Structure formats: structure tokens, C-alpha cells
Amino acid sequence: MTKACEASELADRQAIIDEFGEVDRLMKLWKPQVNPHAKRRTELLAVMESWYVDHPAEEGDLIEGALYQVEVKPRKKHRTMTPAAYKKAFERFRKLVALDGKTPVKFDPFTVFSTTLEAIKKHLGKHFLDEIAPEEQTGTRDFIAVAKAPAAAAKAS
């Protein structure tokens, strides 16, 4: 890639970062139910997210335009429950006993089984949940725009 191409790509990225910062600021100021900035903000987020497809999940970043800098947060943690994991959880619920280790807990596992991750964690423990559905950093990233100077935020007002 030539230096001219690199400079052009950097200028394009800075323009996207600055436009995102400004649209994000305007969106936060908007009070009515339908926000006219929401669509463009979503489009800009999609472009910036594409820059981080191969970026390590646990690492954030700080990107800068001329007027705004945007803090890119690490990916959020996410669990995926497979059918096999649900089956294991269901079997464990069926065998659940009271704290004394002898008395069966009287409840129907089917009452729990449009189950949530929180219900599995509460009744069967975090260790069991980690075993059947390990938490991975595969969720979305947050992008937080911060004006570089007060003038940048007031410029478009």
C-alpha cells in the first residue's frame, strides 16, 4: 500500500470517527420517540465494528478523528447454550436434592425449562454453568464517543 493510499484511508477513518461522534452527540440530545440520528449511528457503528473483526476480544482501543475520539470497549462476554448443554442441565435439575443431601427437591423441571442462564446458575451453580456453557468474549463491543475539545461538541449545535 502506498503512502498516499494509507493517508487516504486514515482520512476516511477519521471522517467516520468524527461523524459517529457528532451523530452520537446529537442522538443523545434528541428527546422524541423517533430519533432521526439512529439510522446513521447504526450504519457508522457497523462500519467501525468491521474494523475490529480480527481484533483480540479482550482488548479495547482508542480511535481518533479530528474532532472526536471513540473508546472501543472489549467484546462483551456471551454464553451459548447448545442442545447438549440444555440436556445436561435438565438431567441435573431432575436429580436436585435439598441441602441435607437426602430430601429430593419437589418441583417439576419442566417449570424451569424455558430456563434462563440465571436459573441454571441459581439452582445448579456457576461451576456447573461454566462446565456446560463456558463464557466467551464473543459479544458486541461498545463504542463511546468523546469530544476532543468542548468546541467540537458545541460546533454542530
- Say whether both 49 and 111 belong to one domain: no
Helices (H) and strands (E) in the chain, counts: 7, 3
Angle at 88 between CA 85 and CA 93, to 5 degrees: 125
- Say whether both 100 and 59 belong to one domain: no
CA R_g for the chain: 23
User: How many domains does the chain fold into?
Assistant: 2
pLDDT in tens, 12-46: 999 999 999 999 888 888 776 777 888 999 999 99
- Say whether both 123 and 61 belong to one domain: no
Its domain, for residue 19, covers 3-76+139-155
pTM given for the model: 0.49
- Say whether both 45 and 30 belong to one domain: yes
Cell of 142: 461498545
Q: Do 51 and 61 form a contact (C-beta atoms < 8 A)? A: no
Q: Taking the alpha carbons of 15, 17, 20, 22 in that order, is the dihedral positive or negative?
A: negative
- Say whether both 126 and 93 belong to one domain: yes
pLDDT in tens, 96-131: 755 556 666 666 555 555 678 888 888 888 998 899
